[in-house]
Structure 1
Amino acid sequence: MTTAIAALLSIFGVVVGAFLQNYFSRQNNEAKQLLESRNQAFIDFFEAVSLVVSAQRMGKKEQELEQLAKLTHEKARICMFGEESVVRHLAKFWETGASLETESEILAFTRFILDIRKSLGLKDKEFLNAEVSQLLFAIKPPRS
């Protein structure tokens, strides 16, 4: 009787172990796919932003319109895959005008980038607002 119970418990343990392994593997795979989708949406968004700005500066209206359409698509992807705070910062950037010409637009864009870094799990030891703005726009905003 005890050997039968031990055998049943062993089989039960193997089944539960296999189930748990499958469950955690599936959860890990879904999280990995979401992170990859987020990363690609962010990369494509920044590429579209730079192409729009470039087309605007060179006066190429047709290219600008193409890239604006791509930019709209990338914003939608961020709304789909991005964390709530990232979507909120993107909306705030768009509220300011989203042209990267004024100080408020540049600061909103910088906050958006910093929030993306945070959402990707990057643990910055210091507040990088000034450094990011300096790298992207060659300006130093006041520290908050």
Structure 2
Amino acid sequence: MTVAIASLLSILGVVVGAFLQNYLARQNNEAKQLLESRNQAYIDFFEAVSLVVSAQRLGKKEQELEQLAKLTHAKTRICMFGEEQVVKRLATFWAAGATLETESEILAFTRFVIDIRKSLGLQDKGFLNAEVSQLLFAIKPLRD
């Protein structure tokens, strides 16, 4: 009787372990796919922004329209896959005008980039607003 109970418990333990491993592997895979989708949306967004700006500066209207379509597609994917704060920052940037010509647009875009970094799990030690603005827009930070 005791051997039968021990055998049954062993089999039950193996079955429960297999189901638990399968569940955890599926959860991990879903999280990985979400992160990959999110990362690709961010990359596509920034690529489209830079190509739109380049096309506008060069006066290439057809290329600009093509990149605006890609920008809209990337923006839609950010709305689908992005974290709440990133989507809010994107909306703030868009509401500010989304042309990167005014100070409020540049600040909104900079905050958007910083929130993307946070959403990707990057733990920045200091406030990067000035550094990001300087790198993206060649704006020299004010220092003491």
Please confirm whether the aligned pair reaches a TM-score higher than 0.5, indicating the same fold: yes
Gaps of 5+ in 2: none
The TM-score with structure 2 as length reference comes to: 0.97
* Greater than 2 Å deviation, 4+ residue runs: 140-143
Gaps of 5+ in 1: none
Kept in 2, the 8 Å contact 1:107–1:141? The answer is no
Superposed CA RMSD in Å reads 1.2
Residues 100 and 43 of structure 1, relative CA distance in 2, 3 Å threshold: same
Amino acid aligned to 2:27: Q
- Equivalenced residue count is 143
Amino acid aligned to 1:84: E
Q: Helix, strand or coil for the counterpart of 1:125?
A: coil
Q: Helix, strand or coil for the counterpart of 1:113?
A: helix
Q: Which residue of 2 aligns with 1:62?
A: 62
Kept in 1, the 8 Å contact 2:85–2:115? The answer is yes
Percent identical residues: 85
Deviation at 1:13, TM superposition (A): 0.3
Kept in 1, the 8 Å contact 2:131–2:141? The answer is no
Distance, in Å, in 2 between the alignment partners of 1:37 and 1:104 is: 29
Instruction: Describe the superposition over 1:61-105 as per-residue Cα deviations: whole angstroms up to 9, x where unpaired.
Output: 111111111111110010010011100000000000000001100
Q: Which residue of 1 aligns with 2:135?
A: 135
Kept in 2, the 8 Å contact 1:48–1:71? The answer is yes
Distance, in Å, in 1 between the alignment partners of 2:5 and 2:106 is: 69
Q: In the TM superposition, what are the counterparts of 1:1-144 in structure 2 within 5 Å?
A: 1-140=1-140
